[in-house]
């Protein structure tokens, strides 16, 4: 509660300035805000050099036909100058509408959407379920919590290899399925099962984060709300629907957004699970990586163009998501 | 699946039964024996699912032969720590450890140092361009690796920084810096404004307030940001696989892959290395995980 008041006064202090003429506003603005600008200067410089410059350079590359055969490179003592040329928007046209555009872009696009939607839905529902269970008075609660966090605690590049051993042809999962007289799919070869395996592994990796964040959200809900609901004779389902879910709203909207961004950009799981062997199970990020670095000659221009397209998709999605949130709730400014 | 339905239906009937028999009133949050048994059941199954792949990896790392993962039964009789001693003595394990530590610690230090003042500025001050800056910080966090990897590769090879620690650290900073700023803003938001005001009244400049009052108070937040940068840099796969060419400069994330491609799939060694990497990192993770979660979600929810 106190935090909210502090924030309110802080905001008022910042926005207090009345609105005089433009010249005076600029001058007094710099007098008043110069230390703010001095404080953000380091990050502004770093972002300019490390993000903006490569981004602009990448944007330029997408307008050329650069690949590993015509970019500048040094072989031994010989330096070969770049010979790629400007071709305008041809890369984008080729990716989106060119021949076999469906196989190269749209099939991966659809699979990426399905992948993101399914993974985040699974992360959220399983995470919420486990968080609700852990939020009860239960013997051994801390122990369960510590074990359930394990997939998050161990680095992904380690656990994915564990899964690869389990999913391999004669691995433990297929042996178990065989022992139960169930069909044993070839997880790492067949397209459908590759996708299934990728979603399964990513779900396993992503649930703990959701669970822990939602558990934090559950614990911050005021217990008197539950008491009031119970007084009014609300059933457990109604308490969940009208107290728990609204109470979780701000945490949920953040973690779902983070989850969508992370899953959409998930590189490690698919790359380490399949390498370059599964063209149909690649989501757009790993596919862009394959174009730029997994094949010969490396197609830098197309890969960069995929990157720009991906970023555009994410930015459009995020702004709609934020607008949709703001429609419901004014205070979520960012 | 069936256990879940049992659990919910038990929860529904639990309080109802309590109402029917007022003599045995349960306090809120307490459930009947059936409900709590079901909860335990679900949690135990979930724990096993969470634990199994890792336990399996540890188990396989004890098998002496590289194809033992296909015949796990054999491992019981031939269990040995030979894989571990081989990895520590005859592979590049310590080179990889060195590279991983240099790159991760470099990213961590630069990320937090650069981002700290910005986190404070966006937490306390409203200046023209504030919303744009927050938007930029948010958007940079969602850059897919595919956006920067190609231009970064070109730029770094022009500068001769491919296959160098500095190059990789710089690349990681492109995400670590905005992320840390975002995370630190969330933490600074939880420090009361009165402290700033007290400093201001006593004649400190905004920089003085930040350096002498807020920074010492924000040490846990700085630690979380540092830790998060460390973990991200440590586990990063795409940039490290592309930019590090010499196998003595690999980070662990790349080194582990090299077991399968180069040394004709020495899976037993790979499993042993994986376990050796995972133990310290996970231990470290458990030490700070509570703060980490609050830090991650606080940054996003507060405008």
Contacts of B246 (CB under 8 A, 6+ apart): B163
What's the burial of A300, exposed, middle or buried (CB within 10 Å: 0-12/13-18/19+)?
buried
What does the domain layout of chain A look like in residue ranges?
A: 22-60, 90-328
Of B296, B130, B295, B117, residue with least CA distance to B214: B117
pLDDT for residue A63 is more than 80:
yes
Q: Which of A223, A203, A218, A205 is nearest to A251 (CA)?
A: A218
Could you give phi then psi for residue B296, rounded to 5 degrees? -65, -45
Mean pLDDT: which of A34-43, A311-320, B13-22, B177-186 is highest? A311-320
Mean per-residue pLDDT for A146-154? 89
pLDDT in tens, A109-126: 999 999 999 999 999 999
Residues of B in contact with A208 (CB under 8 A): 50
The ipTM is: 0.79
Q: Determine the angle formed by the axes of helices A2-15 and B193-201, rounding to 10 degrees.
A: 50
Phi/psi class of residue A21: alpha, beta or left (left: φ > 0; alpha: ψ in -120 to 50)?
A: beta
Beta bridge pairs of residue A75: A78
Show which of residues 209-268 on chain A sit within 8 Å of chain B, judged by CB atoms: 209, 212-213, 216-217, 223, 226-227, 230, 235-237, 250-251, 253-255, 257-258, 261, 264-265, 267-268
Cα separation, A288 vs A304, in Å, equals 8
Closest CA in chain B for residue A130: B43
- The pLDDT tens digits of the residues spanning B221-279 come to 888 888 888 888 988 888 998 888 888 888 888 888 887 765 467 788 888 888 888 88
Q: Decide: helix, strand or coil at residue A73.
A: strand
Task: Give pLDDT, residue A111.
Answer: 93
- What digits encode the pLDDT tens for the residues A191-214? 888 999 999 999 999 999 899 889
Helices A249-264 and B267-301: crossing angle in degrees, nearest 10, is 140
Q: Does the domain formed by B87-301 have CATH 1.10.3720.10?
A: yes
Number of Cβ within 10 Å of residue B159's Cβ equals 12
Q: Best residue in A14, A95, A162, A224 to probe B by mutation, most B CBs within 10 Å?
A: A162
- Chain B residues whose CB is inside 8 A of the A204 CB are 49-50, 53
Chain B residues within an 8 Å CB radius of A226: 28
CA distance B206 to B152: 36
In angstroms, the separation between the Cα of residue A95 and the nearest Cα of chain B is 15
Q: How far is B180 from chain A (nearest CA, A)?
A: 10
Give the per-residue pLDDT at A204: 94
pLDDT-derived band at A14, boundaries 50, 70, 90: very low
Domains in chain B: boundaries: 2-60, 87-301
Strand boundaries in chain A, DSSP class E: 73-75, 78-80
Q: Which long-range contacts (CB under 8 A, 24 or more apart) does B154-162 make?
A: B154/A57, B154/A61, B154/A71, B154/A300, B155/A53, B155/A54, B155/A57, B156/B243, B157/A73, B158/A72, B162/B243, B162/B245
Q: Give the count of beta carbons closer than 10 Å to the beta carbon of residue B81.
A: 11
The domain made up of A90-328 has a fold known as MetI-like fold (1.10.3720)
Beta-carbon contacts of B178 under 8 Å, excluding residues fewer than 6 positions away, are A43, A47, A51, B115, B136, B137, B140, B141
Which comes out higher in pLDDT, residue B201 or A70? Answer: B201
> pLDDT-derived band of residue B29, with 50, 70 and 90 as boundaries?
low
Any CB–CB contact under 8 A between A68 and chain B?
A: no
CA separation for the pair A32, B78 (Å, rounded): 73
Q: Do A47 and B72 touch (CB under 8 A)?
A: no
Which chain A residues have a beta carbon less than 8 Å from that of B124? 10
Which chain B residues have a beta carbon less than 8 Å from that of A206?
A: none
* Distance between A167 CA and the closest CA of chain B, angstroms: 10
Q: Give the model confidence (pLDDT) of A67-82 as tens digits.
A: 888 777 767 667 777 7
Q: What is the pLDDT of residues B47-69, one digit of tens each?
A: 999 999 999 888 888 887 777 77
Percent of chain B with pLDDT over 70: 83
A136 in contact with chain B, both atoms CB, cutoff 8 A:
yes
Instruction: Pick A171 or B102 by higher pLDDT.
Output: B102
pLDDT tens, residue by residue, B124-157: 888 888 888 888 888 888 788 888 888 998 888 8
Give A-chain residues touching B51 at CB under 8 angstroms: 147, 150
Could you give the angle at the alpha carbon of A270 between the alpha carbons of A264 and A271, nearest 5°?
Answer: 115
User: Is B70 a residue whose pLDDT tops 60?
Assistant: yes
Closest CA of chain B from A291, distance in Å: 10
Asked if pLDDT for residue B35 goes beyond 70, the answer is yes
């Amino acid at each position: 509660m106190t935090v909210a008041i502090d924030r309110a006064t802080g905001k008022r202090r910042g926005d207090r300035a009345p609105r005089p003429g433009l010249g005076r506003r600029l001058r007094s603005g710099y007098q008043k805000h110069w230390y703010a600008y001095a404080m953000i200067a380091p990050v502004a410089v770093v972002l300019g050099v490390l993000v903006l410059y490569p981004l602009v350079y990448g944007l330029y590359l997408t307008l050329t036909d650069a690949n590993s055969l015509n970019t500048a490179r040094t072989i031994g003592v010989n330096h070969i100058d770049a010979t790629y040329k400007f071709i305008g928007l041809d890369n984008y046209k080729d990716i989106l509408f060119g021949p076999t555009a469906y196989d190269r872009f749209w099939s991966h696009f659809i699979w990426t959407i399905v992948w993101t939607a399914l993974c985040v839905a699974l992360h959220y529902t399983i995470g919420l379920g486990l968080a609700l269970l852990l939020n009860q008075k239960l013997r051994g609660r801390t122990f369960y919590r510590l074990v359930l966090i394990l997939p998050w605690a161990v680095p992904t590049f380690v656990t994915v290899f564990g899964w690869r051993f389990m999913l391999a042809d004669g691995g433990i999962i297929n042996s178990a399925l065989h022992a139960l007289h169930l069909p044993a799919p070839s997880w790492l070869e067949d397209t459908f099962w590759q996708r299934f395996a990728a979603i399964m592994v990513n779900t396993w990796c992503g649930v703990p984060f959701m669970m822990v964040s939602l558990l934090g959200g559950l614990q911050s809900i005021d217990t008197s709300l539950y008491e009031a609901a119970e007084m009014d004779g609300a059933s457990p389902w109604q308490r969940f629907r009208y107290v728990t879910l609204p109470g979780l709203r701000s945490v949920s909207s953040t973690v779902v957004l983070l989850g969508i961004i992370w899953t959409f950009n998930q590189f490690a799981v698919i790359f380490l699970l399949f390498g370059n062997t599964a063209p149909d199970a690649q989501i757009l990020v790993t596919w862009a990586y394959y174009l730029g670095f997994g094949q010969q000659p490396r197609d830098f221009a197309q890969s960069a163009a995929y990157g720009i397209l991906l970023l555009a998709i994410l930015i459009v999605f995020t702004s709609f998501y934020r607008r949709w949130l703001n429609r419901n709730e004014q205070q979520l400014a960012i | 699946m069936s256990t879940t339905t049992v659990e919910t239906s038990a929860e529904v009937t639990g309080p109802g039964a309590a109402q029917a028999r007022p003599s045995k009133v349960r306090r809120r949050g307490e459930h009947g024996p059936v409900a709590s048994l079901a909860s335990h059941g679900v949690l135990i199954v979930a724990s096993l699912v969470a634990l199994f792949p890792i336990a399996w990896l540890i188990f396989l790392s004890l098998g002496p032969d590289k194809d033992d993962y296909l015949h796990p039964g054999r491992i019981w009789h031939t269990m040995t720590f030979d894989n571990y001693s081989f990895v520590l003595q005859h592979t590049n394990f310590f080179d990889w450890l060195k590279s991983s530590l240099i790159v991760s610690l470099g990213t961590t230090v630069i990320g937090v140092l650069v981002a700290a003042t910005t986190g404070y500025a966006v937490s306390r001050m409203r200046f023209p361009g504030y919303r744009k800056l927050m938007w930029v910080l948010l958007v940079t966090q969602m850059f897919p690796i595919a956006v920067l990897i190609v231009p970064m590769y070109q730029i770094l090879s022009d500068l001769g920084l491919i296959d160098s620690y500095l190059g990789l650290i710089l690349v990681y900073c492109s995400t670590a810096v905005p992320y840390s700023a975002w995370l630190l803003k969330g933490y600074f938001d939880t420090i009361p404004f009165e402290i700033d005001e007290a400093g201001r009244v006593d004649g400190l400049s905004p920089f003085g307030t930040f350096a002498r009052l807020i920074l010492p108070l924000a040490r846990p937040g700085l630690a979380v940001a540092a830790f998060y940068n460390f973990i991200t840099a440590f586990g990063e796969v795409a940039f490290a696989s592309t930019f590090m060419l010499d196998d003595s400069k690999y980070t662990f994330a790349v080194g582990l892959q090299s077991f399968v491609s180069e040394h004709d799939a020495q899976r037993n060694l790979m499993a042993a290395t994986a376990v050796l990497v995972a133990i310290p990192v996970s231990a470290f993770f458990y030490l700070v995980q509570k703060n980490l979660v609050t830090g991650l979600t606080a940054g996003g929810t507060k405008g």
